Structure 1
Amino acid sequence: MSAPTVLRCAGRPVARYVLRSGTGADRSPRPYLHPVSTLGGVTVTERLPADHPHHLGAGVAVPDVAGFNFWGGRTFVRDRGPTVLDNHGVQRHQGFERRDGGGFVAELSWVAGGRVLLHERRTVSAVPLDDTAWALDLSFSLTNASGEELSFGSPATNGRPGAAYGGFFWRAPREGAAPDVFGADAEGERAVHGARADWVALAGRDWTLVFAGATEETRRDPWFVRAAEYPGVGSSLASEERLALAAGATAERRVVTVVADGLLDRGGAAALVRKAVTA
């Protein structure tokens, strides 16, 4: 396995990009970022937590691509519920187009059923904001390489309400108490989960993460938010209905995450998001 790529900001290491999880086929092996930390050194990602051992820091994962699982764990099957299936795909790192301490551009193949379904171009940058905050700017483009139409689904589109996860996903560390959740005009997990909002924030004991959709298309995706069950935030490529992708077509998304020491209030979060998205 290749050595992880280390991202630096303000001269400090703030994230590692690991090319392969090495966790077994049932966890949909894929590249991911972990640990990600604040400028003060507080780790704000989790890898292989006991509650969901297929959660791998921050990255891109989809539970249903044409019936194949690129998320890990069980697959939600309509009228059956979570089911163990031999349907897991693998994200294979193909190479770096660019790589330095400030970020990288990587090429990946999403492989399942003995063929390449998707080609991905993933761009990640560490952006300085101020003395206590930086931003992880992650964009990905998924191009249908299968030769036929593919569709993206989620447990929600397969019959489980409120579980429209799939796309960008960040697993935060579990602490003694659930993190606070808020948005620009909403407070609490119930109010923020499933909302189409410019940004949402997750605040732990001594850190705050603010997730922002940085393109119009990304802002149309509802946010998937968990706090009480476990701490995590992601996007929802497929919420009410499956997302169809014609042969050769590309789906693109960009999420910018503010990583801050301490607890931000709503005004502070909004100000850093504006700075991060336009940096």
Structure 2
Amino acid sequence: MNHSLIPRSLVLRCSGRPVVRYVVRPEVDRRHAPRPYLHPVSTLSGRTVTDLSPDDHPHHLGASVAVPDVAGSNFWGGRTFVRDQGPVDLENHGTQRHQGFKLHDPDGFVEELVWAAGGEVLLRERRTVAAVALTASAWALDFTFALTNATGADLSIGSPATNGRRGAAYGGFFWRAPKEAKPPEVFTAAADGEVRAHAACADWLALAGDGWTLVFAGATARTRRDPWFVRAADYPGVGSSLASTDRLPVAQGETVVRRVVTVVADGRPGRDEVAALARKAVTA
């Protein structure tokens, strides 16, 4: 592949406004599990709602697909949680590599990637991303990833939770929001607060900061069954949990598909408006 022909980044627009920068060829430390990521992502008024390599977790790269355990390889970054040992610095970090765009428009793209570690391709991915207009103050990022086992044998996806760390079932689509003077509000249709929302299998989950609100919605039946991983007090971040209580098996040649649609809104909509935006986003 001629890497000189691969763009380092591209910009997506919604209603003519730039709202997303997608970094195709990241320049990050290998210990951070190099992978394409979205940053900055902004509201229609221009407020940035992602963070990149913050001091508390330098391997948090905007919004991306990050998985801490794919057949023992770390595609999340940082230390690896090992059962009966805890977090350990291991030389097991993988890399997601761009292979090409099947489609590229001003408001979205379809991309082919490989997930490789130790000289072996473990997964092949087709990623579909689109910026969708909703209202005068809100738009949606529609993100689908399809992971195909490329090893010729069965493998499985895990998380710190499946490796023995209770409450740490992160791994999948993950969004790191900017840290502000006070933690963001967290709520779902039925729950308020980080403690009650964390690990909930809710149709949507909202994170509301200073002048912005993000609404994460599982847009397929399988995605809605994935619990949400939520952090607010320590740092602001929301993701889906591919492996919450048990490892997720991916048989030889099998494909795992997940779709998460994120509403990016200015201001602080009420719960009913958030619910309406989530419904509109997943059907747009």
- TM-based fold match above 0.5: yes
Query: Secondary structure at 1:274's aligned position in 2?
Result: helix
Which residue matches 2:258? 253
CA distance in structure 2 between the partners assigned to 1:274 and 1:196 by the alignment: 16
Which residue matches 1:207? 212
User: Given the alignment, which residue of 174, 189, 195 partners 1:190?
Assistant: 195
User: Given the alignment, which residue of 82, 100, 104 partners 1:99?
Assistant: 104
Q: TM-score, normalised by structure 2?
A: 0.97
Q: TM-score, normalised by structure 1?
A: 0.99
Aligned pairs (5 A) from 1:1-279: 2-279=7-284
Deviates more, 1:155-164 or 1:18-27: 18-27
Q: Which amino acid aligns with 2:125?
A: E
CA distance in structure 2 between the partners assigned to 1:101 and 1:117 by the alignment: 31
CA distance in structure 2 between the partners assigned to 1:196 and 1:11 by the alignment: 35
CA distance in structure 2 between the partners assigned to 1:23 and 1:254 by the alignment: 26
Query: Secondary structure at 1:130's aligned position in 2?
Result: coil
Long gaps (5+) in structure 1 = none
CA distance in structure 1 between the partners assigned to 2:148 and 2:129 by the alignment: 18
- Identity between Structure 1 and Structure 2 (%): 69
- How many residues get paired? 279
Query: Secondary structure at 1:247's aligned position in 2?
Result: coil
CA distance in structure 1 between the partners assigned to 2:102 and 2:25 by the alignment: 18
Structure 1 residue 3: Cα displacement? 3.4
CA distance in structure 2 between the partners assigned to 1:255 and 1:20 by the alignment: 23
Query: Secondary structure at 2:134's aligned position in 1?
Result: strand
CA distance in structure 1 between the partners assigned to 2:255 and 2:283 by the alignment: 24
CA distance in structure 1 between the partners assigned to 2:269 and 2:8 by the alignment: 34
Structure 1 residue 20: Cα displacement? 2.5
CA RMSD in angstroms, aligned pairs only: 0.7
Q: Which amino acid aligns with 2:244?
A: S
CA distance in structure 2 between the partners assigned to 1:125 and 1:188 by the alignment: 29
Structure 1 residue 99: Cα displacement? 0.6
Query: Secondary structure at 1:14's aligned position in 2?
Result: strand
CA distance in structure 1 between the partners assigned to 2:197 and 2:82 by the alignment: 26
CA distance in structure 1 between the partners assigned to 2:118 and 2:159 by the alignment: 19
CA distance in structure 2 between the partners assigned to 1:141 and 1:168 by the alignment: 12
Structure 1 residue 127: Cα displacement? 0.3
CA distance in structure 1 between the partners assigned to 2:261 and 2:54 by the alignment: 24
CA distance in structure 2 between the partners assigned to 1:3 and 1:193 by the alignment: 35
Structure 1 residue 113: Cα displacement? 1.6
Structure 1 residue 229: Cα displacement? 0.5
